[in-house]
Chain A
Amino acid sequence: MTLQTSAPPADPAPASTTSYAARMQGDPTGRRVRGSLPVFAFAVLVGTAASVHTVRSGTNLDYGDAMAHLTIARRVIDNKAPGLAQLGTVWLPLPHLLLMPLVQDMWLFRTGVAGCIVSTLCLGASATALWRTTARLGLGMLARLVALLVLVANPSLLYVSTTALTEPVLIATMLGTIAGVAGWCRSRRQLSGGELAVFAGIPAAAGVLTRYEAWPLVISALVVVIVASHRRGCSWRRSGLYGLAFAAPSMLAASWWLAYNTAVYGTPVEFLTGQYSAAAFTQVYLDNGLLATKGNPGLSFAVLGWALLETAGLVALVAAGVGLLLMTWHWGLEDRALIVWMAASSSAFLLFSLTTGQHIMVNDKSLPTGAYNNRYVLSAIPWLALLAAVGVHHVVRRAPQVRMLLAAALLVAVTAQNVWWLQAPTAHMTVIEEAHDQHVAYTRIKAAATWLHTHYDGGGILMDQTPDKSSLAPVLGIRIDEFFTRASGPVFQEAIEDPYAHARWVFMHRRQVTSSATETGRDLVTRALAKDPQFHARYRLVYAIADIGIYRRLEGTP
């Protein structure tokens, strides 16, 4: 193990480095990193191409969560009861706030292009941050390109980058944080706590408000900041102050979230214990004996590992494994290694969540098998990319003559893997399989929504936000303030009690279904109206598919 005592110089570039590569390599301890803008443009271009493909095929709205995020973002403004309270507590708010200005345009909302824009920009930001991190680590050109390859050539990640899912935002904030910390730790000059707060603390705070996987990243980054600054000669007190500067934005963000929960729901831990919380969601699985990973570290590891294999791919995993060995051998626990280890915190958190029953993940290794929530492991891609890059860097450093061979081999391997994946995406790629499964599950309700979109002639719609319907707004393509839902405030209850006076249309399950995860799955409209003869006397069933029914008011009925 090598313990670093001061900011070390970057590893010397290979002797045979081309002049262009040498220029791009630049000074890893300087403020600017050459190539950042082209990398951003390239990744955005790739994301745009992928978006065009998924939007044309409509698969960008396959995930129910993707539609739900679009819906939440729009209903903050477009609602009978607009306001920040519409952000709810099911998910952290930042992805919705980012989507919010875009989804006010009905076309961007309906097509899901709003999600494409945000996620593709996040892909660009992620690639740029990864590029900058590898530069800060002093890695060579080939190593940096390999890191980009692992990130940008991953079809699963590219797919979610065309949706409104929160993974792209999470990965961008994670990589932003890592790049910020790397830049701060590796700077020639001791940068101020303010710089750390802005360039690393704010991305971390954004992550805190995006997904809970970012919370452990803040803790690991805090440790890295304190250790690195102490190694640089700062006193423990000074190092602690730097740590505080880094963590302050995240603490503010978390405080805001607690205050928001208190203000809207009366308790700061509503997001942990409320009826819409993940805990309430997993409880249903627990009650049904479907959460086998709880208390079983071996199974949790196997499930997570399989998800990684199916999502990141064998090539990335092998390259990352080699990189891990070489990094540990050469860098031990010096700052550069700690920076790479930071990226592992989300995977560690996932493993912990699976083992403690806080998280559900279903794949071929789980009990029972299936495909659900495997996309969460996409947050491990940055770690794998960094490890793979470190591995390539060390190989090329020791044996510069194999550089071209290695590059070609990696390119061929990644291409072959992608070709295999794309031959049968729903069978080989668990993220696509999940999307496809949900698309199938939503087929009927989407058909109903599409019918309503075509036939809606105003007058308001009464509809409860059961999990299947809560995310339908993009398919419905009707202004949300036309709806009476749970998110409409007290007027929802009034509409249930007197639908005739409020809504021309009622969209509900014709029978109460309780197979959904939580109590929130019960359709309150169904409960109130399905067996109400008054209702059936005044409304006519105009569309039905499976147990879904769309009713229209009979005008002139007393």
Chain B
Amino acid sequence: MTTTREPTAPNALGDERPMLVRRGAVTAQQHAAARRRQLLEGGDLHQYLLMDGVLSRAELYDHLAQEWRIPHVDLIREPCDPALLSRMSRRVAMREGWIPWRRSGDLVVLATTVQPSEAAAGVARELFGSGRVEFRATTPWDLWSALEVGHHDLLLYESAERLATEHPMASARAGLAPWQRRVPVAIVLSLAAGFVLAPLNTLVLVLSLANTLFLSNIVFKTVASFLVPTRALLRSRRTLAEMRARQRCGLPPVWVPVDSDALLPTYTVLVPAYKEANIVAKLVRNIGALDYPPAKLDVMLLLEADDEETIAVARAIALPEHVRVVIVPPGSPQTKPRACNYGLAFARGTYAVIYDAEDRPDPQQLRMAASAFARDRLERAHGLSHRPPLAVVQASLHYFNADYNVLTRMFAVEYAHWFEAMLPGMDMARLPLPLGGTSNHFDVASLRQMGAWDPYNVTEDADAGLRANLLGYRVAVIDSSTGEEACAHVGAWIKQRTRWIKGYMITAAVNTRSPLRFARAVGPLGVIGMLGLIMATPLAFLAYPLALALTVATYVGVQFIGLTLPPLLVEVSVLTFVFGNLVMIVSAGAAATWRYSWRIGVFAIFSPVYWLLHSFAAWRALYQVIRDPHRWEKTPHGMTEDYESDAHV
């Protein structure tokens, strides 16, 4: 949205005071305070006056209308001509700050949020073929509302169907490819036949496969985790090399992030929420804790139209000026990525991030992400980096209710291993990174080019990370963290994990519909990432009960179950299982101890039991992939109320 500028020219009487002061809308002190903040942080002066509550938006635009000498129009009461509005693209309208309101013969009337200008009139004449142009003043919120109404169908299409229609191979809408449906059936039939004809050999085969899958997943995770300690070493070497390279290019030897708030870009914060009326107030508190100029923040609380309770609560609360409620119209699939796509359509930021409503990001996180993007751009511009352009950065996640109960502790251990060990390790190995559900920061232009999120994929985050890699972008991690609420109830956890594992299965299926094309596009590292993580994770969880059963049966004596398995298989399997578990326990425990404390880390010892829950979820996910691949099982938030442990401090 183009910013409004307050007229500062003296009036006819030679009064040089700012317009709003002159009109008595604000005092000189109030104006000066807003002006000081504008100079420090950049952005629109009026935004500061609105944020300070000095005057309302309607009052501001009434004054502006008088100053511009044009009438004010309320677009809610007097809506735009839809046919006329549809002729102007949404993005052009948001960029220009005006939309066509009505037409009468040769006359086109524009509703504007910016000072009328001949340039705007010229654009309007060109767009609508009119002779005369008139202006009416309106507020930006009215303008957005008008665009939502006027472009309703297009917005719905872009949110839900665009990716699937324009890039069907990249979307999960079509489900599994024919060969992907046939292969599992063939495997099941072969196994059934095997169990009838040669049960022992088939069992040996199944157990061997189960152990191989388990082992490969363990190896992948372990290698990724153990790369982390070398990361610091390589980083220091890279820093030295970088200093030399920067000097060669005539740049200061050390990168200095943006040092003036006025230069910070506008940042869009998308907060999708559904049936979470209880945490809207927390959202305001958590977003308020971000250390980013409010005038540069574009926060959108994305609520589904049928979620009347949350909408009512959101409207009842006095939201800050930079937070707006966006009601996502009904439609299918009703998923978080669809809501995010809808919000993205109105994003004003250079960058965008997704947070859950209860998230508590590090205050500096937006600055760090913006800095990472800016640095990447600068380095590539000066030839200091030949890596693909950075499209996404992922912050790590931790749980603020880590020690609420055993499940939250296990979840915390798992997240610590994932975000503190595996993701940095994978980043170092330059493997494609699947994104986490929140705290992923996007370069908005790149995100739009990628086709945004796939609303048919229930782990749109993981899918987006891989698609970014596939399309030649880069995903990186930043050293910043967001506090999340760990799911504290087993039932809800199972549903959430079912969705995640199902998403991995679907993401793997989508990306390997044409395996050779995928391999060519992503190269060997991409293939390793796909096989070792996205595919092996659900398969390992599916195989885990088999490996566990074999170990337990062997542990109490094979003769106990009357089976005589080849000794080599038994020994290798038990060794794999016991040592595999041990390695995972140690690495996860170390990561959790580092991130939280030993009181959380020690719970890694229960991982083998925790993985049984994963297995249950994996088998449930497999069933859903076949029966209901797009079903989105919502994770409830706010279950632990205001409980906050000090484990993460």
Residues of A within 8 A of B (CB): 31, 84, 189, 191-192, 194-195, 197-198, 256, 259-260, 262-264
Contact = CB atoms under 8 A, between A and B. Distances in A.
Contacts of A260: 556
A197 B556 CA distance: 24
A264 B403 contact: no
Most buried by B among A84, A191, A194: A194
B524 interface: no
Interface in B372-424: 403, 405-407
Contacts of B407: 192, 194
A195 B488 CA distance: 12
B556 A263 contact: yes
Listed from nearest, the 3 A-B pairs whose CB atoms lie closest are A194-B406, A263-B557, A192-B405
Most buried by A among B403, B560, B643: B560
Interface string B46-77: 00000000000000000000000000000000
Contact of A263 (B403, B560, B643): B560
Contact of B556 (A192, A194, A198, A259): A259
Contacts of A262: 556, 560
Nearest to A191: B405
A191 to B, nearest CB: 7
B559 interface: yes
Contacts of B643: 189
B195 interface: no
Given A192-B406, A194-B406, A259-B556, 16 more contacts: A84-B555, A189-B643, A191-B405, A192-B488, A194-B405, A195-B405, A198-B406, A256-B556, A259-B560, A260-B556, A262-B556, A262-B560, A263-B556, A263-B557, A263-B560, A264-B557
B606 interface: yes
A194 B609 CA distance: 12
Nearest to A199: B406
Contacts of A263: 556-557, 559-560
Contacts of A191: 405
A503 B164 CA distance: 79
Nearest to B558: A263
A488 B212 CA distance: 35
27 contacts: A31-B403, A84-B555, A189-B643, A191-B405, A192-B405, A192-B406, A192-B407, A192-B488, A194-B405, A194-B406, A194-B407, A195-B405, A195-B406, A197-B406, A198-B406, A198-B606, A256-B556, A259-B556, A259-B560, A260-B556, A262-B556, A262-B560, A263-B556, A263-B557, A263-B559, A263-B560, A264-B557
A452 B501 CA distance: 63
B462 to A, nearest CB: 28
Contacts of A84: 555
Most buried by A among B557, B559, B603, B606: B557
A197 B606 CA distance: 12
A264 B557 CA distance: 7
Interface string B589-618: 000000000000001001000000000000
Contacts of B560: 259, 262-263
Interface string B124-140: 00000000000000000
A202 to B, nearest CB: 9
A260 B556 CA distance: 6
A290 B396 CA distance: 70
Most buried by A among B556, B603, B643: B556
Contacts of A189: 643
A262 B555 CA distance: 12
A378 B559 CA distance: 40
A36 to B, nearest CB: 12
A212 B149 CA distance: 75
Contacts of A264: 557
A197 B555 CA distance: 23
Most buried by B among A84, A191, A198: A198
Contacts of B606: 198
B571 to A, nearest CB: 13
Contacts of A194: 405-407
A189 B556 CA distance: 40
B471 to A, nearest CB: 43
A223 to B, nearest CB: 23
Contacts of A195: 405-406
Interface string B541-561: 000000000000001110110
A197 B406 CA distance: 9
Interface in B628-649: 643
B515 to A, nearest CB: 42
Nearest to A85: B557
A385 to B, nearest CB: 26
A121 to B, nearest CB: 16
Most buried by B among A189, A192, A256, A264: A192
A252 to B, nearest CB: 10
A372 to B, nearest CB: 35
A198 to B, nearest CB: 6
Contacts of B555: 84
A189 B404 CA distance: 10
Nearest to A198: B406
Nearest to A84: B555
Contacts of B403: 31
Nearest to A194: B406
A17 B297 CA distance: 54
Contacts of A198: 406, 603, 606
B608 to A, nearest CB: 13
A49 to B, nearest CB: 27
A271 B606 CA distance: 29
A57 to B, nearest CB: 37
A409 B66 CA distance: 92
Nearest to B404: A192
Nearest to A260: B556
Contacts of A31: 403
Interface in B556-582: 556-557, 559-560
Nearest to A202: B606
Nearest to A259: B556
A264 B560 CA distance: 9
Contacts of B488: 192
A400 B357 CA distance: 53
A189 B488 CA distance: 14
A194 B555 CA distance: 26
A378 to B, nearest CB: 29
Most buried by A among B403, B406, B560, B643: B406
Contacts of A259: 556, 560
Interface string B474-518: 000000000000001000000000000000000000000000000
A192 B406 CA distance: 8
Nearest to B490: A194
A264 B555 CA distance: 11
A69 B455 CA distance: 63
B499 to A, nearest CB: 22
Contacts of B603: 198
A438 B643 CA distance: 57
A90 B407 CA distance: 38
Nearest to B643: A189
Nearest to A197: B406
Contacts of A197: 406
Nearest to B407: A194
A221 to B, nearest CB: 18
A238 to B, nearest CB: 14
A295 to B, nearest CB: 38
A19 B296 CA distance: 51
A82 to B, nearest CB: 14
A262 B559 CA distance: 10
Nearest to A261: B556
B463 to A, nearest CB: 32
A256 to B, nearest CB: 7
A194 B408 CA distance: 10
A263 B557 CA distance: 6
Nearest to B555: A84
Contacts of B405: 191-192, 194-195
